[in-house]
DNA sequence: CTTGGGTAGTTATGAAATATAACTAATGAG
DNA sequence: CTCATTAGTTATATTTCATAACTACCCAAG
């Protein structure tokens, strides 16, 4: 049997995987995720705490279980996000008027201020990620992504 | 001060996040990842072990450190993937001819067979994810994803 | 040849994200 | 009132991924 040669200098090919949109999506998303984390870090936010804060700003009085549904995460994990946002003084847990088990999540003035700044930074990050793409291409990407999401 | 109302029945809006391509990408990728995991599970493969196997099939004699670079993961994690592939009898660690520290990764006949079947299933999964999109749109998505990846 | 800095693979470990199970308190239908 | 269900929480397990340190080895300078 002939010995297997190793490839110390030759370029590694991933052509078979490149065919797959999922592979390209994972690699692109890794880049986006890393850049977004760097973008949010100065604000003391992470991807999911920023998303949660955004949801609370957009939907005042939102309840944790609704937040879990909107973010597609478990209720148990939402507790951690809200804890962090509450400790930072950006979100409050007000008692619900209609259900004594539930809370109405509200964002504070400080929360609104950090959100506005973080949102501007995130939008700049998003534009950076799309740099060099034409509007029609961006639209195609958004449409495709939302269609894919709808399959799940 | 007026009491905060909660929103027990109203639909939760994520419009601010929907503007961001990164948010749409994360949600779409979650769907893709879940479907891919279901697709690979019957073969005893996961996303990264399938990717590793594909790389080894495409690049016989590949070395673990090269595999780490190609997959953008740490060398230490590659050990785990190769361990799994080796235990399943799909990949062998042959001694390198040129460097006694290194291994030349080879896929076995059984490895090639499971790869061919898994690859067909993954390609079907990929087509399923793109169902309803036109060729031009798919091309735009691929181009955009590769461009975004190039920023990292 | 020898010596020292760097590299390949491995191991052990830690950090972070995410999921599961069980608990308390409250709701709401019958 | 009773009881199955739900909201929020807690504790815990799992998984993923990165870091540090180790051995064996390579290689180039002296």
**Within a domain: residue B7?**
no
Of B14, B140, B151, the CB nearest to A70: B14
pLDDT at B58 over 90: yes
**Within a domain: residue A1?**
no
Residues of A in contact with B29 (CB under 8 A): 25-26, 29
Token pair recorded at residue A84: 């962090």
pLDDT at A1 over 50: no
pLDDT band at residue A136 using 50, 70 and 90 as cut-offs = confident
CB contact under 8 A, A28 and B148: yes
Q: Which of B8-22, B29-43, B48-62 has the lowest mean pLDDT?
A: B8-22
Helix (H, G, I), strand (E, B) or coil at B68: helix
CATH number at residue B56: 1.10.10.10
pLDDT in tens, A59-88: 999 999 999 999 999 999 999 999 999 999
CB contact under 8 A, A126 and B54: no
Of B20, B30, B144, the CB nearest to A126: B20
**Within a domain: residue A123?**
yes
pLDDT at A91 over 80: yes
**Within a domain: residue A113?**
yes
Of all nucleotides in the shown strands, which has a C1' nearest the CA of B8?
Answer: D7
- A103-107 vs A91-95, strand pairing mode: antiparallel
Q: Which domain holds residue A145?
A: 23-150
Q: What is the pLDDT of residue B140?
A: 87
**Within a domain: residue B9?**
no
Distance CA A51, CA A72 (A): 11
Chain B 96-135 residues whose Cβ is under 7 Å from strand C = 96, 99, 101-103
pLDDT in tens, A14-39: 999 999 999 999 999 999 999 999 99
From A97, which residue of chain B is nearest by alpha-carbon distance? B5
Domain count, chain A: 1
A47 has a chain B CB within 8 A of its CB? yes
**Within a domain: residue B34?**
yes
pLDDT at B9 over 70: no
**Within a domain: residue A13?**
no
- CA proximity to B48, closest of A152, A17, A13, A6: A17
**Within a domain: residue B135?**
yes
Cβ of residue A33 near strand D, that is under 7 Å?
Answer: no
Residue A106 forms beta bridges with which residues? A92
- What is the secondary structure of B16-52 as a DSSP string? HHHT-HHHHHHHHHHHHHHHHHHHHGGGT--HHHHHH
């Amino acid at each position: 049997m002939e010995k297997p040669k190793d490839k110390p200098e030759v370029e590694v090919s991933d052509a078979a995987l490149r065919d797959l949109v999922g592979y390209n999506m994972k690699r692109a998303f890794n880049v986006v995720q890393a850049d977004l984390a760097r973008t949010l870090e100065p604000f003391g936010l992470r991807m999911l705490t920023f998303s949660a804060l955004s949801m609370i700003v957009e939907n005042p009085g939102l309840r944790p279980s609704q937040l879990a549904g909107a973010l597609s995460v478990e209720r148990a994990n939402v507790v951690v996000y809200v804890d962090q946002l509450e400790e930072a003084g950006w979100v409050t847990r007000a008692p619900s008027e209609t259900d004594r088990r539930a809370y109405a999540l509200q964002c504070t003035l400080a929360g609104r201020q950090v959100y506005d700044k973080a949102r501007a930074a995130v939008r700049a990050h998003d534009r950076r990620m799309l740099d060099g793409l034409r509007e029609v291409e961006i639209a195609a990407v958004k449409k495709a992504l939302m269609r894919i999401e709808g399959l799940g």
